[in-house]
Structure 1
Amino acid sequence: MRLPETQLALLEAASATETKTVAQLAEALGEDPAAVTRAAFELETEGLVAVEEHVAEEVAVTEEGDRYRDDGLPEVRLYRAAVDAGADEEPVELGRLLGSAALDGPEVDIALSNFARKGYGHIDSGKVDAAPDPTHDPNADPEAEALDAIANDNAGYLDAEVLDRLESRGLIERTETTVRSVTLTDDGVTALMEGIETAETVGAVTPELLASGEWEDVEFAEYNVEADAEPVNGGKEHILRQTANRVKDVLVGMGFQEMEGPHADADFWINDCLFMPQDHPARTHWDRFALDVPGMDELPADLVERVEDAHRNGVGSEGDGYHSPWDEDFARAVALRGHTTSLSMRYLSGHAVGDLEPPQRYFSVEKVYRNDTLDPTHLLEFYQIEGWVMAEDLSVRDLMGTFTEFYEQFGITDLQFKPHYNPYTEPSFELFGEHPETGELIEIGNSGIFREEVLSPLGVDCDVMAWGLALERLLMLMYGFEDIRDVHGTLCDLELLRDVEVVQ
């Protein structure tokens, strides 16, 4: 009998009494595991070896998980800092604890999202209330102990729920691999006893083989199409970007043009032009991200004057204004936009593309930033679908009809509308859609007809209906996601993003 060199070496390394894995045989032979796997399948076809398969799970700590093993989990560090500051007796400002807990950047969000979940306490209105007797002992946190066990190759006894949580947090990686074991058969033993010669094999036809005529005398290697190939995760457009692009296509098809503008803008464009009083709770540091930079000088002086007058005195004979403080320095202060309506104000005022004559339709699908409490439907940054229509004699029915046409393009036909109050629109209403998995009503947007106090200072003398819709909430209704943190952010599910089926 003649066999290729790799097959013969494998046959000699295999045992009739001891099962050996392909990995063990490859290491012993100094061969590539893929080559050994191919040789094993070929020998199995000849009846010389038996190949058994089983699926094994490998668990490894990620770089972020290793860092938390050294520094401690963010939520545990926050709890310890809170207890040291006396938050187990009286609530303490969150800002006081971040430094002593060594928390900054994304770790702040991670600590906040896991603090209450583990029973370490509650965070309300920016204050931390630490539990005197927490559900989990911070010195024996199950997730921290699990990270240590995995790092020490003792993951076998760990609870599956803990592993799932660590994986969702990106602290461990779990991979399923097919483990193949090889055992020598009786025919294999007999063949070795009788003697086997090495046969030189060729894996591919080359120009040299053809030119020399040697191809007629060589033995070609057989290929096993069932052998495993190395998994390749190619690049893929993020599901959120796919949906954003589709939203843009739909709105352009409905006759809208796209707006552009800065993410960091003057509070004047973000809130003052919207007739939002400067002492409104949403304009405090608890809800907005103010930037420590000089105020914006490039504001149109005449528009600033008209907006200030609307705030102080109202608009029209029956207007009364707010009679609340109005500070031009505050209006010029720069912050991350909490909504893309700042773009609408720039365009409606003529500041962005010049004066606009009705009818006009504009939209944007851009990121906004809010200091919200993290939960399955709220993030600190998300995408808003902003839009407005400028025309004569618009009504709420025009607005409702626009939403009906828009959401039908995504297979959503069960919209519900609820009256609402906004400082900048009247009438106003919120939109709700039914979650396809839970049946729960999900708020998906806010809308209304801009008030005269908004439009008059901008120089607009016709109706403007406007809205702000949440792109991530649209995704929840389309795909059945229950937690938008699965889609993007520090806890996103990479396997879900790789495998999710695109909805047309």
Structure 2
Amino acid sequence: MRLPHAQVALLEAADADDARRIDALADEAGLKPETATGAAFALEDEGLLALAEETVESATLTDEGRAYLDEGLPEVRFYRGAIDAGADDEPAEMGPVIGAAGLDGAAVDIALSNFARKGYGKIDSGAVSADPGADPDSDPEAAALAALADGESVADEDVLAQLDRRGLVEISETTVRSARLTDDGVTTLMAGVEVAETVGQVTPELLTSGEWRDVEFAEYNVEADADEVRTGKTHVLRRQAENVKDTLVGMGFQEMQGPTVDADFWINDCLFMPQDHPARNHWDRFALDQPAQIDELPAALVERVESAHREGVGPDGEGYHSPWDLDFAKALALRGHTTSLTARHLSGEALGELEPPQRFFSIEKAYRNDTLDATHLLEFFQIEGWVMAEELSVRDLMGTFTEFYEQFGITDVQFKPHYNPYTEPSFELFGRHPETGELIEIGNSGIFRPEMLEPLGVDCDVMAWGLALERLLMLVTGAEDIRDVHGTLVDLDFLRSEEVLY
């Protein structure tokens, strides 16, 4: 019988009595693991090898687990701090114990939650009592971390599960295959097997010489496992941004750019946002310290904007009658929305005076001091857009959104009336999540008010919007948490596998 070299080598390395792992057979036969796997499948098809497979779990330390391996588990450090504070004799105040343990931030809560669970002591009304008989040196979780770091396995499944719940290890599953000689395989080996000289690929020489007609080509098993190759690829959110850019350019829009750090004047004052608005306090914005203010602002524009804030515009105008301070207007901050770019362009500061009709957009980052959750991050990408033209209406605004979202397969956008200081009428946009079925907010829109446009020197209608790129991605891909896409909790498997199509 004639077989390819890899199959002969694997057949000779296999055993009729004991199933051996294919990676061990590959090592003995001098083959690459993937080559040996392909040969094993071919030999199984011939009835010469019997294959078996099992799922094997393996655990690796996370960054937090490695940190605890070096520094000690927080609860162990807390116990030792309690001993140092004499809490094994009489209760000690928690503050000095935390200080003696060198704990801060989230590590304090972790230490407290595990201290009593492991029987190291108890906490009652802020007083810490430590069990003098506890033995932190034999802590099973610490021992498991050390074993995993040394490449050993952990036999106690409960300990491993606890480490997994704490986020100190990452458990993965792999499929391990083993092979054993069948009776036919033994008979074939006893009868003798010859190595068939086969060709693995077509070369220019084979084609030009005509030898390809006479050679024997190796068979390929397209179902055989292969190494997973993880090459670099464009981030899923960047691909979505490129799709949005292509769509808006196709709809006749031009891209605009501007500073990430800008004066509050451009970020808020030009948008008719009162200076005492809650969103402008230091809790909601990221202000700069060095430098703290922009060098200069266009004086005539500043005067018109201040007048609109104080007195309104037109004969029946009503301003806010609230404080307006130039120093606050000059204060620098990370932009909370990219509408600051719109203000710069409409005022003529960016490109000079613009004549209608005009269509502009940007896909840039904005920064807000929000509470982190599945739909909020401290930084996010905003799809800013606006149209300047005569006699624009709400129908024009809604029609633009309908056309835009249809490009991404989203046909059920819903509108909800809303209040903005700078648009009237105003609408929030909602889309239905394809997995959860919930309506999520995907943007804000409206037609700019005269109190914003007149100081900027614009005497026609402007409709505008700010859409969330990450939430569009959620509707397109079914992602349920934007923290999986970017940030410290990013889901690498999602980034490696997800496709963005439109």
TM-score range, shorter chain: 0.7 to 0.9
Counterpart position of 1:255: 252
Alpha-carbon shift at residue 147 of structure 1 (Å)? 6.5
Match of 1:426 among 424, 433, 439: 424
Contact kept in structure 1, 2:3 and 2:194, CA below 8 Å: yes
The superposition leaves residues 319-361 of structure 1 with CA deviations (integer Å, 9 ceiling, x where unpaired) of 3433433332222222111100000000000000000122222
The residue number in structure 2 matching 1:291 is: 288
Give the whole-Å Cα distance in 1 for the aligned partners of 2:161 and 2:501: 30
Say whether residues 1:33 and 2:55 are aligned partners.
no
Which residue in 1 is equivalent to 2:447? Answer: 449
Separation (CA, whole Å) in 2 of partners of 1:76 and 1:445: 48
CA contact (8 A) 2:55 2:173 kept: no
The secondary structure found in structure 1 opposite 2:483 is helix
Residue 240 of structure 2 corresponds to which residue in structure 1? Answer: 243
Counterparts of 2:269 and 2:419 in 1: how far apart (Å)?
A: 17
> Per-residue deviation at 1:198?
7.3
Q: Contact (CA 8 Å) 1:383, 1:471: kept in 2 or not?
A: yes
After superposing the two structures, state which structure 1 stretch, 316-325 or 339-348, moved more. Answer: 316-325
What residue is the counterpart of 1:438 in the other structure?
436
- Pairing of 1:204-223 with structure 2 (within 5 A): none
Q: Is 1:353–2:351 an aligned residue pair?
A: yes
Partner of 1:468: 466
Contact 2:63 2:168 in 1 (8 A): no
Separation in 1 of the partners of 2:189 and 2:399?
81
Where do 1:388-407 residues align within 5 Å? 388-407=386-405
Compared CA separation, residues 469 and 145, structure 1 to 2 (3 A) = farther
CA pair 47-310 structure 1, distance change in 2 beyond 3 A: closer
Go from structure 1 to structure 2 and tell me whether the alpha carbon gap of 1:435 and 1:304 turns closer, same or farther (over 3 Å shift): same
| Pick aligned residue for 1:362 from 360, 363, 388 | 360
Question: Please, what TM-score do these two structures have when normalized by structure 2?
Answer: 0.75
Structure 2 residue 284 is matched with structure 1 residue 282 = no
Equivalenced residues, count: 457
Q: Would the alpha carbon gap of residues 176 and 350 (structure 1) be closer, same or farther in structure 2, given more than 3 Å must change?
A: same
Give me the identity figure in percent.
68
Report Cα offsets for 1:98-128 as digits up to 9, x if no partner. xx8667xxxxxxx69xx89x999xxxxxxxx
Write the distance in 1 (CA, Å) between the matches of 2:234 and 2:372. Answer: 25
Equivalent residue number for residue 415 of structure 1: 413
1:269 aligns with 2:263: no
Letter in 2 for 1:335: A
Q: 1:401 to 1:56 in 2, by over 3 A?
A: same
Deviates more, 1:22-31 or 1:339-348: 22-31
Tell me if the contact between 2:141 and 2:159 (Cα under 8 Å) persists in the aligned partners: no
- Deviation of residue 374 (structure 1)? 0.7
The unaligned stretches of length 5 or more in structure 2 are 78-92, 94-98, 115-124, 128-135
* TM-aligned CA distance change 1:73 to 1:282, over 3 Å: farther
Q: Deviations over 1:428-448 (max 9, x none)?
A: 222222223333221121122
CA distance in 2, matches of 1:483, 1:378: 9
CA distance in 2, matches of 1:358, 1:399: 16
- CA–CA distance in 2 between the matches of 1:373 and 1:29? 58
Give the drift of 1:468: 1.1
What is the CA–CA distance in structure 2 between the aligned matches of 1:303 and 1:162, rounded to whole Å?
62
What secondary structure does 2:459 align onto?
coil
Which residue is 2:130 aligned to?
none
**In 2, distance between residues paired with 1:14 and 1:417?**
68
1:293/1:334 contact within 8 Å kept: no
Structure 1 residues 175 and 353: alpha-carbon distance in aligned structure 2, compared to 1, 3 A threshold: farther
Q: Is the 8 A contact 1:388 1:465 kept in 2?
A: yes
Kept in 1: contact 2:240–2:500 (CA 8 A): no
The verdict on how the C-alpha distance between 1:56 and 1:264 changes in structure 2, with shifts beyond 3 A counting, is same
Partner of 2:496: 498
Task: Quote the Cα distance in structure 1 between the aligned partners of 2:274 and 2:379.
Answer: 23
3-state SS, counterpart of residue 239 of structure 2: helix
Mapped partners of 1:464, 1:197: distance in 2:
82
Q: Structure 2: how far apart are the matches of 1:321 and 1:467? A: 24
Query: Which whole-Å CA distance do the structure 1 matches of 2:142 and 2:452 have between them?
Result: 53
Q: Distance in 2 between matches of 1:441 and 1:38?
A: 48
Paired residue secondary structure (1:290): coil
Q: Which runs of 5+ in 1 are unaligned?
A: 78-88, 90-96, 104-110, 121-130, 134-138
Which moves more between the two structures, 380-389 or 46-55? Answer: 46-55
Give per-residue Cα distances to partners, 1:1-33, cap 9 Å, x unaligned.
787776566445433222211122334455432
Work out whether 1:340 is the aligned partner of 2:338. yes
Q: 2:263–2:329: 8 Å Cα contact kept in structure 1?
A: yes
Choose the corresponding residue for 2:312, options 291, 294, 314.
314
Matches of 1:324 and 1:119, distance apart in 2: 49
Which residue is 2:16 aligned to? 16
Offset, 1:451: 2.1
Match status 1:371 vs 2:360: no
> Deviations for 1:196-255, whole angstroms, at most 9, x for unmatched residues?
5875856559999999xx999999866555443222234433332232222222222332
Relative to the length of structure 1, the TM-score reads: 0.74
**What is the deviation of 1:155?**
7.7
Change (3 A) 1:262 1:76: farther
Structure 1 residues 129-166: Cα deviation after superposition (integer angstroms, max 9, x where no partner): xx989xxxxx9x99999977865523883699989878
Shift of residue 389 of structure 1? 1.8
1:180 to 177, 180, 191: 177
Q: How does 1:9-88 map to 2 (within 5 A)?
A: 10-29=10-29, 31-41=31-41, 43-44=43-44, 47-63=47-63, 65-67=65-67, 69-70=69-70
